[in-house]
Amino acid sequence: MSKAELARRAGLSPLTIDRVEDGMPCRMDTKRKILLALGLDLSEKENVFPE
């Protein structure tokens, strides 16, 4: 899936997706939107967003 498609599905801007990919901090709501857009369960947060 492209960044643009992920952003569209998550209801986020492509710039936000870039920032998250660059490891910048983001809100839990942003993480939730990305996980759901990827078709993942919220319990998989640690696999996608390691602390």
pLDDT in tens for each of the 51 residues of the chain?
899 999 999 999 999 999 999 989 999 999 999 999 999 988 888 888 877
Domain count, the chain: 1
Q: Is there a domain that residue 35 lies in?
A: yes
pLDDT for residue 49? 84
In degrees rounded to 5, what are phi and psi of residue 13?
-80, 150
Q: Is there a domain that residue 12 lies in?
A: yes
Q: Please give the residue range of the domain that contains residue 26.
A: 3-45
Q: Is there a domain that residue 7 lies in?
A: yes
* 43, amino acid identity: S
Q: Is there a domain that residue 50 lies in?
A: no
Q: Is there a domain that residue 51 lies in?
A: no
Q: How far apart are CA 51 and CA 47, in angstroms?
A: 10
Q: How far apart are CA 14 and CA 47, in angstroms?
A: 22
Q: Is there a domain that residue 28 lies in?
A: yes
